[in-house]
């Protein structure tokens, strides 16, 4: 029986240590890049391309300015990398939820794919604002993102929309119109969240609010409308019982309505 020599064992240990060190360095590099790109999306979303600066992106991440320019030599390169980063995350989520060979119906696949887009924009609302900044003007970046990033996604979704329409499962309109209707629905909380929070006391960052909203979308668009108990929705509203309704609280308003119904019956 052959026994490993002490020299061979030590060499194997050193090899394993180098491998782990290299892997840890790669993971740190990936994490650093992700932090830079997420901060870039937030900066571009807030200030637009012209107003954004790599120095402020460095401040957002706590990294040194030269480290960012080492990875991304110019603001334009950084913008494009940020766009690709966001859409790569969405495609990865699609592949996890509904791989291309998964035995699911066309409608179920579409439902999961748009749900993934919604969940990404709800968790990272800056992404919607990032895209809106470029949509406001026709510029080379918009044309680039349409050709490089959006076109592959649309080429995946539109045939599925057409197939569902042929099965009479979706309205028969131009598939691209259906797609952009869904895009607008996925962006509702990220686009109107602050306004909704002021007027309704519902927080777009509350997972229960997001789930309730997307159940509504699925019920209207895909005919999938599970029951959502009213008591569960009440929990979404942090100060629901303290809101003033007609000069009193929501609870007192409910009591007044009951009394009114009883008095109407007696008449």
Give me the CATH number covering residue 186: 1.10.357.10
Residue 16 resides in a domain: no
Tell me how many domains the chain contains: 1
Residue 151 in tokens: 């076109």
Going residue by residue through the chain (267 aa), what tens digit of pLDDT does each one get?
A: 555 566 666 666 565 656 666 677 678 888 899 999 999 999 999 999 999 999 999 999 999 999 999 989 999 999 999 999 999 999 999 999 988 788 889 999 999 999 999 999 999 999 999 998 888 777 899 999 999 999 999 999 999 999 999 999 999 999 999 999 999 999 999 989 889 999 998 998 899 999 999 999 999 999 865 554 444 555 565 544 444 344 444 444 445 444 444 544 444
0.85 exceeded by pTM: no
Q: Which residues does 19 contact at the CB level (< 8 Å), separation at least 6?
A: none
Residue 115 resides in a domain: yes
Residue 170 resides in a domain: yes
Residue 167 in tokens: 């099965």
Residue 202 resides in a domain: yes
- pLDDT (0 to 100) of residue 264: 45
Alpha carbons 59 and 4: distance in angstroms, whole number: 52
Alpha carbons 81 and 76: distance in angstroms, whole number: 9
Count of C-beta atoms within a 10 Å radius of residue 226: 7
- Contact present, 235 and 208 (Cβ < 8 Å): yes
Residue 215 resides in a domain: yes
Q: Is the dihedral of CA 163, 166, 170, 172 positive or negative?
A: positive
Alpha carbons 149 and 199: distance in angstroms, whole number: 36
Residue 158 resides in a domain: yes
Instruction: Measure the CA dihedral 220/183/212/244, to 10°.
Output: -100
Tell me which residue range forms the domain holding 186. Answer: 83-222
Residue 92 resides in a domain: yes
Residue 260 resides in a domain: no
């Amino acid at each position: 029986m052959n026994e490993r020599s002490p020299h061979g064992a030590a060499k194997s240990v050193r090899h394993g240590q180098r491998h782990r060190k290299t892997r840890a360095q790669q993971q740190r590099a990936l994490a650093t890049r992700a932090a830079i790109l997420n901060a870039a999306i937030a900066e571009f979303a807030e200030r637009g391309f012209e107003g954004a600066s790599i120095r402020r992106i460095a401040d957002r991440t706590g990294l040194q300015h030269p480290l960012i320019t080492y990875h991304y030599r110019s603001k334009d390169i950084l913008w494009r990398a940020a766009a690709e980063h966001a859409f790569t995350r969405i495609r990865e989520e699609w592949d996890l939820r509904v791989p291309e060979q998964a035995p699911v119906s066309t409608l179920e696949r579409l439902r999961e794919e748009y749900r993934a887009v919604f969940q990404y924009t709800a968790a990272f609302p800056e992404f919607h604002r990032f895209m809106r900044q470029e949509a406001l003007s026709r510029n080379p970046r918009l044309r680039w993102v349409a050709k490089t990033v959006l076109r592959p996604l649309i080429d995946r979704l539109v045939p599925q929309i057409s197939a569902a329409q042929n099965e009479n499962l979706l309205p028969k309109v131009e598939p691209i119109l259906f797609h952009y209707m869904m895009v607008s629905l996925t962006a509702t909380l990220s686009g109107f969240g602050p306004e909704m929070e002021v007027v309704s006391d519902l927080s777009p960052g509350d997972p229960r609010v997001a789930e309730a909203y997307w159940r509504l979308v699925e019920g209207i668009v895909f005919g999938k409308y599970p029951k959502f108990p009213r008591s569960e929705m009440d929990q979404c509203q942090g100060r629901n019982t303290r809101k003033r309704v007609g000069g009193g609280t929501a609870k007192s308003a409910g009591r007044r309505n009951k009394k009114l119904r009883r008095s109407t019956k007696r008449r």
